[in-house]
């Protein structure tokens, strides 16, 4: 009953209202020139310095998914859940130089989305459209994932009812508030709120890793309890250590997730909002500090085992909701007031990335679908207005996913999104370094990789949850005819096929002398910095001119 959690509800509500107020105030933060412009509404004026970018990008990447789904996976499956730790370590060296080049060319040409860059680089509206659609589709389950985190907290506090409307009404209200201040303040809202969100998460995790082991008898007892659980009732694959069959899956999942992370539109949006290249360099060097925090968050799954946490029932009869593991751990072990703070950290940890994701998806639609195909002469004010409206539609779609679907294991949503967004790697990430691939070959590679990826995901079931399709991203190699029980991450296989098709067809099309289009960028575009001349859409400049190469 909610009355048993009154203190937690009050603390949660007060902190939630605080960040909501900050979201509305953010419209006046840092004196925007003109909010009726995508540079201001969607990218915060491209003016964020080191600290703001640190919190914005960190708040964007380490979300309610981090707080809820990773420990839940470790609670249920053991060591495999730690894949999130190495991939967030591997990613930063990989993208250090890539993102600097993307920032520079976007600064020089006024690009707002990765699809803007692809359109200009390969002179292909169709390829840009595919990149835009891919980004939007991959982002939607990620936003829904944030809702899962909020729902787990609300369920633990007993504020959800039995009917569908009563169960989801608090989420609908929370996202209505989020939609209102995002509509008004744009990217400035999550940037300002990220300070509170990350501070709360750091406080909660540091307290948890000191206080909970002390209360549970020490780390030795925690690992012994986890080991005993997995030996008594083996998880699908592992205990506290990986077994031989899961090692290939672990490696490919970690590496594939690392490749995918900064291809997501919301990750790129946070980077493009930076003031200069040095801001990006400093953040790519410092952001791995979050990985230490992530490792500590992951251990909450083992702590929940030692604490005897039993997940709450799921929506389906006989099922359990693994996403409630961490909230229940906090409810069981922390004083009520501090549990409320921890719940607020999860709730706000959902709002910040959800806002950035909806803005990024809206920018993709506006610049690469609406502007490209529906209204080529749209003014900057019209672009901003369409993006605002689209961000509302995206949030409504995310809420609909939660209301009408039943995500039993929330991490599946993010992993499926990773498979999808990985198919933009040849055009976006490799395109920043080379134009060797033919635009037609990149389109064919995308089709091949996406088709194979969707087929593989469709074949994956999970008997434990009753899902026959799209129940994860671990594909049995036996389906390819190998005599083994090993699995592999779908995204790696799909993107490798994508690259092979793109490379082979490039040779064929080049031999056939098929037109390759005109590269709208120059070599020095990829090294431009703050203060360099920039071609950017503005009140007195048509956005189409942003595609013209700079002399």
Q: What is the pTM of this model?
A: 0.88
* Distance in angstroms (rounded) separating the CA atoms of residues 59 and 145: 15
Q: Using CB atoms within 10 A of its CB, is residue 106 exposed (0-12), middle (13-18) or buried (19+)?
A: buried
User: Nearest-CA neighbor of 366 among 354, 352, 384?
Assistant: 384
* Distance in angstroms (rounded) separating the CA atoms of residues 182 and 165: 24
Q: Yes or no: say if 151 and 343 are a contact pair by the CB < 8 Å rule.
A: no
Torsion angle of C-alpha atoms 364, 368, 371, 376, degrees rounded to 10:
170
* Distance in angstroms (rounded) separating the CA atoms of residues 89 and 479: 31
**Helix axis angle, 64-77 to 325-333, nearest 10°:** 90
Q: What is the pLDDT of residue 1?
A: 58
DSSP for 247-272 reads HHHHHHHHHHHHHHHTTSHHHHHHHH
Residue 186 main-chain phi, psi, to 5 deg: 65, -145
Cα 134 to Cα 333, 428, 515, 517, distances in angstroms: 42, 12, 25, 22
- Give pLDDT tens digits along the chain (551 positions): 567 788 898 998 898 888 888 888 887 776 666 777 888 888 888 888 888 888 888 777 777 777 888 898 889 888 888 888 888 888 888 888 788 999 999 999 999 999 999 999 999 999 999 999 999 988 887 887 787 778 888 888 887 666 656 667 777 787 788 888 888 888 888 888 888 888 888 898 889 989 999 999 999 999 999 988 888 865 555 688 888 778 888 999 999 988 988 899 988 998 899 988 899 888 888 888 878 888 888 899 999 999 998 988 766 666 677 888 999 999 999 999 999 999 988 888 888 888 888 999 999 999 999 999 998 888 888 999 999 999 888 888 777 776 666 555 455 666 788 899 999 999 999 999 999 999 999 999 999 999 999 999 888 877 666 677 777 788 888 888 887 888 899 999 999 999 999 999 999 999 999 999 899 999 999 998 877 765 544 333 344 444 333 33
Please give the angle made by the CA atoms of 144, 295 and 328, to the nearest 5 degrees. Answer: 60
Q: What is the pLDDT of residue 463?
A: 67
* Distance in angstroms (rounded) separating the CA atoms of residues 217 and 63: 29
Tokens 């033919």 correspond to: 438
Q: What is the pLDDT of residue 548?
A: 39
Q: Which run of H or E residues covers position 262?
A: none
Q: What is the pLDDT of residue 96?
A: 81
How is residue 186 written in tokens? 């744009």
DSSP-based three-state secondary structure for 320? strand
User: Nearest-CA neighbor of 352 among 82, 149, 508?
Assistant: 149
Q: What is the pLDDT of residue 436?
A: 94
Cα 26 to Cα 31, 34, 146, 502, 536, distances in angstroms: 9, 14, 22, 44, 24
Quick one: DSSP state of residue 463?
Answer: T
Q: Yes or no: say if 346 and 68 are a contact pair by the CB < 8 Å rule.
A: yes
Q: Which run of H or E residues covers position 488?
A: strand 487-489
Q: In the chain, helix, strand, coil percent, each to 5?
A: 75, 5, 25
* Distance in angstroms (rounded) separating the CA atoms of residues 359 and 42: 6
* Distance in angstroms (rounded) separating the CA atoms of residues 95 and 466: 38
Residue 238 main-chain phi, psi, to 5 deg: -130, 170
Count, residues in the chain: 551
How is residue 293 written in tokens? 């925090």
Task: Find the radius of gyration of the CA atoms of the chain.
Answer: 23
How is residue 418 written in tokens? 């990773």
* Distance in angstroms (rounded) separating the CA atoms of residues 226 and 240: 7
Q: What is the pLDDT of residue 197?
A: 83
* Distance in angstroms (rounded) separating the CA atoms of residues 48 and 58: 14
* Distance in angstroms (rounded) separating the CA atoms of residues 417 and 434: 26
Beta bridge partners of 476: 487
Conformational region of residue 476, where left means phi above 0, alpha means psi within -120 to 50, and beta covers everything else: beta
Q: Yes or no: say if 548 and 535 are a contact pair by the CB < 8 Å rule.
A: yes
């Amino acid at each position: 009953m909610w009355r048993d959690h009154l203190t937690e509800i009050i603390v949660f509500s007060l902190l939630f209202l605080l960040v909501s107020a900050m979201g509305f105030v953010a419209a006046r933060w840092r004196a925007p020139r003109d909010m009726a412009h995508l540079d201001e509404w969607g990218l915060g004026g491209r003016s964020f310095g080191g600290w703001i970018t640190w919190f914005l990008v960190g708040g964007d990447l380490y979300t309610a998914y981090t707080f809820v789904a990773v420990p839940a996976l470790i609670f249920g499956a053991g060591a495999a859940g730690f894949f999130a730790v190495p991939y967030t370590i591997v990613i930063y060296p990989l993208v250090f130089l890539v993102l600097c080049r993307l920032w520079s060319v976007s600064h020089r040409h006024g690009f707002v989305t990765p699809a803007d860059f692809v359109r200009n680089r390969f002179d292909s509206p169709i390829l840009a459209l595919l990149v835009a659609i891919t980004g939007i589709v991959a982002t939607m389950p990620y936003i829904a994932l944030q809702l899962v985190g909020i729902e787990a907290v609300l369920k633990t506090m007993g504020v959800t009812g039995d009917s569908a409307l009563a169960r989801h009404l608090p989420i609908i209200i929370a996202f209505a508030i989020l939609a209102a201040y995002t509509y008004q303040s744009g990217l400035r809202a999550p940037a300002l709120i990220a300070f509170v969100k990350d501070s709360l998460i750091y406080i909660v995790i540091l307290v948890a890793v000191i206080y909970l082991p002390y209360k549970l008898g020490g780390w030795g007892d925690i690992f012994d309890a986890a080991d005993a659980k997995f030996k008594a009732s083996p998880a699908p694959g592992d205990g506290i250590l990986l077994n031989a069959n899961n090692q290939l899956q672990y490696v490919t999942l970690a590496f594939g997730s690392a490749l995918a992370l900064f291809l997501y539109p919301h990750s790129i949006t946070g980077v493009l909002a930076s003031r200069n290249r040095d801001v990006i360099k400093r953040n790519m060097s410092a952001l791995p500090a979050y990985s230490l925090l992530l490792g500590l968050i992951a251990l909450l799954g083992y702590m929940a085992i030692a604490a005897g946490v039993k997940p709450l029932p799921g929506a389906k009869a006989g099922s359990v909701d693994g996403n409630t593991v961490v909230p229940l751990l906090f409810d069981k072990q922390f004083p009520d007031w501090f549990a409320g703070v921890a719940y607020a950290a999860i709730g706000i940890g959902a709002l910040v990335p959800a806002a950035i994701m909806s803005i990024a998806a809206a920018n993709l639609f506006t610049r690469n679908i609406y502007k490209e195909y529906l209204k080529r002469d749209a003014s900057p004010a019209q672009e901003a207005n369409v993006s605002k409206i689209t961000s509302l539609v995206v949030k409504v779609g995310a809420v609909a996913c939660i209301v009408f679907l039943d995500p039993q294991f929330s991490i599946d949503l993010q992993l499926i999104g990773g498979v999808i967004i990985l198919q933009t790697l040849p055009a976006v990430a490799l395109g920043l370094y080379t134009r060797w691939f033919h635009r037609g070959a990149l389109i064919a590679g995308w089709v091949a990789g996406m088709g194979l990826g969707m087929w593989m995901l469709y074949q994956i079931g999970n008997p434990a949850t009753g899902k026959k399709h799209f129940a994860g991203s671990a594909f049995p190699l036996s389906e390819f005819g190998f005599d083994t029980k090993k699995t592999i991450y779908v995204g790696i296989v799909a993107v490798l096929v994508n690259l092979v098709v793109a490379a082979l067809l490039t040779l064929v099309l080049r031999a056939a002398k098929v037109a390759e289009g005109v590269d709208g960028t120059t070599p020095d575009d990829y090294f431009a910095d703050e203060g360099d001349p920039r071609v950017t859409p503005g009140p007195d400049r048509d956005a189409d001119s942003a595609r013209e190469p700079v002399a």
